[in-house]
Structure 1
Amino acid sequence: MYKLTDTFDQKNPLPLTTDGELRIVFVGVGSAFAKRNRQSNILIIQGDHHLLMDCGTQGPLALNDVGLDVKKVRTYLPTHSHADHIGGFEEIMLTNRYFGKPTPPELIILRDYQEILWTKSLSGGAEYCEANQGRPLQLNDFFEILRPKATQVLGRKCWVYQHGPIEVVLVRTRHFPDSADSVDESQWCCGLYINRRVWISGDTMFDREYPERFAQEAELMFHDCQLFTGGVHASYEELMTLSPEIRAKCYLYHFGDNWDQPETWVRESDKFTGVPEEDGFLGWAEPRVAYDFL
């Protein structure tokens, strides 16, 4: 069971602890270039442990919306290298290194993706920011690296990291390029399966087998959703082809700024309304609302 809790508090920051229950908070729910709802970066909190799934270009601002900043968040998990998911990482690295706590923040990341993230995205703004005994800096100069281990979940190859009471399962997704026919042909991207209760698709093209497999066990599901068909995200139109049982478990996130104007993206020929609750989903995920699991 879960309940929705409004976390907006102008006087106090969002707590990064709970009394033991699992809490999921979207600090943003928008797509890459959305402005109204920040970007889809997600806090996962339980007991004395927490992690932020992605921190995009608007991530530091989204944290500020809930009274936090990149120094207060101590554990990060980047899912892939698009800017709406890692665009805030330079601020995380430099702010923590020069103005943060004595110990660096933590980073949950696979070895292979660590190399890609650093060499292709982050090193340019951080590698030469200071001299360190004559050598360029590396990602592990900015973070304590936490390494997930390979496993299988529901017959699918995954990686798992036990972060205190939070079991984080990383699941490869077929996101980009759009020419990729399989997960193995895609660039690194992952979704998360939390405590075998909460499934977060991560960025993915429509891949029917993926939600169908995890719907067997997941108590609640969050699927990314673009409002047009084509490209590198699952569309509302495609998600409507999922069974009513799966849609009834599913909130939608990572949507454009016109999500609440279905007349701008639903065609007369479409067999859906564009209002998720009327179309069998649980609804649009909301920013700064906590999903608290009892």
Structure 2
Amino acid sequence: MRLQFLGTGSAFTTDPDNFQSNLILEADDGARLLIDCGSDARRALRAAGLGHDAITAVYISHLHGDHIGGLEWFGFTSYFSRRASGRSRLFLPESLVTPLWENSLKAGMEVLDFGRGHLSDFFDVRPVPPDGSFVFGGATLTPVPLVHIRSADTVLYSHGLMIDAPDGPVLFTSDCLHQPDGLMPWYDKARLIFHDCDTEPKAGGAHAHYSQLRTLPAAVKARMWLYHYADGPRPDASDDGFAGFVRPRQTFDLGRPLDTDG
């Protein structure tokens, strides 16, 4: 099982060699789960030598454009190509199913050649209930709801993933604020951590900032890779005790499942 970052940049990246922070979980049988499908997903996939037909399923963490902006392209391309394998599975927290269609995709995708369509015409929709999980490539993936933006009386959550990989659990935070109290139990479980990291000069109100993550315990930072960073120079993450900044198209080996036949 392998995890490849198609891009490692923020929503606003314009670096010609980087893309928004979307990634692929590839199983040993070749099945690929696209984790988020942002606005530049088609170009990010092409840079990795892949097309939409290489993707078996998609997982959506939340509804910002750098995480769902490519779904119209993906859905239409799959629909009109009449791919032999049928609709791709779409995994997402069940609370996102209705707003994804009604608020984000319906205006551009509802009118089809046969009449009015729905999300299920483009994807095999697999809602994940609260406290639920799903299986892909033999691994169990559990959504982890984290605070992304807190504004007055409104909280926007993004749903990271705890991946029960063969070599040990892997935490992918998705977009989130610095919240060590809530995340520490997940940090402690994970063999590897891939963490949202803002590298702008000043901390904002939507992402964990490098200056905040730098205060985490050394044992946590040593297992933590940083992504979703801004274009331009970055701090020396290794010098500060982190595993490093993820590079575009960098791949991580998560191990092979045990042979249960022998």
- Distance in 2, matches of 1:180 and 1:146, equals 32
Amino acid at match of 1:284: F
- Distance in 1, matches of 2:13 and 2:45, equals 16
- CA offsets per residue over residues 146-201 of structure 1, 9 Å max, x none? 23244xxxxxxx3300124121110111012x3267xxx52342101101611011
- Distance in 1, matches of 2:157 and 2:20, equals 19
- Distance in 1, matches of 2:141 and 2:24, equals 13
Does residue 71 (structure 1) correspond to residue 53 (structure 2)? The answer is yes
Does residue 163 (structure 1) correspond to residue 147 (structure 2)? The answer is no
- Distance in 1, matches of 2:147 and 2:99, equals 17
Residue 108 of structure 1, CA deviation: 0.6
Q: What SS class does the counterpart of residue 172 from structure 1 fall into?
A: strand
Question: Which residue of 24, 27, 33 maps to 2:3?
Answer: 24
1:146 corresponds to which residue? 126
Does residue 46 (structure 1) correspond to residue 56 (structure 2)? The answer is no
Amino acid at match of 2:90: L
Amino acid at match of 2:143: L
Amino acid at match of 1:219: R
Does residue 92 (structure 1) correspond to residue 53 (structure 2)? The answer is no
- In structure 2, the CA distance between the partners of 1:187 and 1:129, relative to structure 1 (3 Å rule), is farther
Residue 24 of structure 1, CA deviation: 0.5
1:289 corresponds to which residue? 250
Residue 128 of structure 1, CA deviation: 1.1
1:211 corresponds to which residue? 183
Question: Which residue of 189, 193, 201 maps to 2:162?
Answer: 193
- The answer to whether the 8 Å contact 1:47/1:165 transfers is no
- CA offsets per residue over residues 176-231 of structure 1, 9 Å max, x none? 2x3267xxx52342101101611011100111123311122100001110013122
- In structure 2, the CA distance between the partners of 1:138 and 1:171, relative to structure 1 (3 Å rule), is same
- Distance in 1, matches of 2:2 and 2:12, equals 26
Q: What SS class does the counterpart of residue 211 from structure 2 fall into?
A: helix
Unaligned 5+ segments in structure 1 are: 1-21, 151-157, 263-273
- Distance in 1, matches of 2:187 and 2:243, equals 14
Amino acid at match of 2:99: I
Q: What SS class does the counterpart of residue 222 from structure 1 fall into?
A: strand
1:269 corresponds to which residue? none
- The answer to whether the 8 Å contact 2:163/2:169 transfers is yes
More helix by percentage: 2
Q: What SS class does the counterpart of residue 174 from structure 1 fall into?
A: strand
- CA offsets per residue over residues 236-289 of structure 1, 9 Å max, x none? 01111111111111000000001xx24xxxxxxxxxxx2100001010011112
- In structure 2, the CA distance between the partners of 1:112 and 1:130, relative to structure 1 (3 Å rule), is farther
Q: What SS class does the counterpart of residue 115 from structure 1 fall into?
A: helix
Residue 35 of structure 1, CA deviation: 1.8
Residue 67 of structure 1, CA deviation: 1.1
Q: After TM superposition, where is structure 1 displaced by more than 6 Å over at least 4 residues in a row? A: none
Question: Which residue of 116, 120, 125 maps to 2:99?
Answer: 116
- Identity rate, percent: 32
Q: What SS class does the counterpart of residue 189 from structure 1 fall into?
A: strand
- Distance in 2, matches of 1:84 and 1:100, equals 26
Unaligned 5+ segments in structure 2 are: 256-262
- The answer to whether the 8 Å contact 1:113/1:188 transfers is no
- Distance in 1, matches of 2:3 and 2:83, equals 25
- The answer to whether the 8 Å contact 2:2/2:27 transfers is yes
Amino acid at match of 1:235: H
Does residue 278 (structure 1) correspond to residue 259 (structure 2)? The answer is no
Residue 109 of structure 1, CA deviation: 1.9
- Distance in 1, matches of 2:161 and 2:26, equals 14
- In structure 2, the CA distance between the partners of 1:124 and 1:24, relative to structure 1 (3 Å rule), is same
- Distance in 2, matches of 1:46 and 1:74, equals 10
Q: What SS class does the counterpart of residue 71 from structure 1 fall into?
A: helix
1:173 corresponds to which residue? 146
2:83 corresponds to which residue? 101
- Distance in 1, matches of 2:152 and 2:52, equals 34
